[in-house]
Amino acid sequence: MKHWRVLLTSLMTLFTTACSTTPPQGVQVVDNFEPSRYMGAWYEIARLDNHFERGLEQVTATYSPREDGGITVINRGFDPVQRVWRESIGKGYFTGSPQRAALKVSFFGPFYGSYNVIALDNGYRYALVCGPNRNYLWILSRTPELPTLVRQALLAAAQRNGFQTDKLIWINTNAGAGK
């Protein structure tokens, strides 16, 4: 009986964390966010490893407005082992005001995860995004290349927020590799 209680508690903790729609404690999201400027295609430059993107290269995320006020999310990446493109289509909704860059995003059923823009340049060219905890982090860019100074600034912002930047995986963005 005791083992069942421990197992049930562990599963509930895992489910709650995996489906959390809030940013990690102490991490501030971007205010004065302009959703229309964030729409369009982004290249994934780096990420902390996660099971749903493991091994993928040339990863892009494309955002577009939905009629219901939400955002359509299309994530696409190339699997170099199987030599196929993988695509996931999801939907996102702001957890509060659209001027605060905190969303909940779902790629399957009623389960939502946290999507938080925690750093963004004024031109909406580079973004630092995290999930519900410090195990999820992405560096995004409008272009496949990231200038060195921008890379250093985003890494510094991630480190200030307690993310382990030494564990980032730098993504192959070479557009010719998957053709």
Say how far apart CA 5 and CA 89 lie, in whole Å: 36
The answer, yes or no, to whether residue 5 has pLDDT greater than 60, is no
pLDDT tens for 116-148 read 999 999 999 999 999 999 999 999 999 999 999
Span 28-170 CATH architecture: Beta Barrel (2.40)
Q: Residue 159: what pLDDT?
A: 98
Tell me the pLDDT band of 178, cut-offs 50, 70 and 90: very low
Q: Residue 23: what pLDDT?
A: 86
Q: Write b or e for each residue in 59-75: b if 16 or more Cβ atoms lie within 10 A of its Cβ, otherwise e.
A: bbbebeeeeeebbebeb
Q: Residue 22: what pLDDT?
A: 81
pLDDT tens for 60-100 read 999 999 999 999 999 999 999 999 999 999 999 999 999 99
Q: How much of the chain exceeds pLDDT 90, in percent?
A: 80
Q: Residue 175: what pLDDT?
A: 58
pLDDT tens for 24-63 read 999 999 999 999 999 999 999 999 999 999 999 999 999 9
The answer, yes or no, to whether residue 177 has pLDDT greater than 80, is no
Q: Are 117 and 128 in contact (CB under 8 A)?
A: yes
Q: Provide the whole-model pTM.
A: 0.86
Tokens for 78, please give them: 């190339």
